[in-house]
Amino acid sequence: MLENSTLGLSMKPYNLTEEQISFFNDNGYLVVEQLFSHDECDAINNLMRKEADESFSAILNPDRQFKEIRDVMRSPRIVSILSTLANAEIVGLMSQMLFKEARSPYASQAWNPHQDNTYPQTPNGEYVTLNIALQDHDVKNGCLYIYPGSHKEGIFPFEPTKSYREDPKSNPGNTVDLEILKKYEPKKTNLEIKKGSTLFMQGNCIH
């Protein structure tokens, strides 16, 4: 198997099934189980922890500083999935490391329900977010929740909110109106994701 020389990343592409593609189109998200090995997750996590400040606040665009992170973003398994789900050429990438270090200021911070595409506001939701779980995510330690199907109506009205290096006592995320959320509340789903699994989310999907 071909491997990347920095983190030992597999260079094999990942072929989605028709069922996975349909699930993404219907729900606005897809979790690909165990896309990364535990060793790969530990290597990424260890690299980023060395760069964390004392508050373990978010790190924006670490790929611009570390080739290893750029290698993750450009790995064939990631690019092949993104190209399939977006049904388009991938023309721009950005990265962010979010910590939930126990007893750190950001450990218990919760985000407001928001759509990621309220930031770049690309047409037709042509913005896909992916989250690599470097540790298990569950309800107890703070997993993501998502509103399936909410990606089908474009960008909703929202309240702009600071969402990077914000006060850890605040709730970031460009907040979707509560009346809109009521429509999707019955479908609200907690995404408990195992280490190494990766969430792909259409930019208009509320979470």
pLDDT tens digit sequence for 121-176 = 988 768 899 999 999 999 988 899 999 999 999 999 999 999 989 999 999 999 99
Q: How many CB atoms lie within 10 A of CB 136?
A: 14
- What is the rounded average pLDDT of the residues 105-132? 90
Instruction: Give the CA angle between residues 61, 138, 156 to the nearest 5°.
Output: 60
CB 150 within 8 A of CB 28: yes
- What residue type is 64 in one-letter code? R
Dig out the tokens for 36 from the structure.
């990364």
C-alpha separations of 129 from 28, 44, 81 in Å: 11, 18, 12
For residue 129, the one-letter residue type is T
Look at residue 8 in the predicted model and tell me its pLDDT.
63
Angle at alpha carbon of residue 121, lines to 112 and 93, rounded to 5°: 95
Q: What is the mean predicted confidence (pLDDT) over 90-107?
A: 87
pLDDT of residue 178: 86
Buried b (16+ CB within 10 A) or exposed e, 48-73: beeeeeeebbbbeebbeebebbbbbb
Closest CA to 28 of 95, 98, 116: 116
Q: Is the pLDDT of residue 91 over 80?
A: no
Copy the structure tokens of residue 7.
Answer: 């983190």
Query: Once rounded to an integer, what is the mean pLDDT over residues 184-190?
Result: 94
Percent of the chain residues past pLDDT 90, beyond the cut:
76
The answer on pLDDT for 3 being more than 70 is no
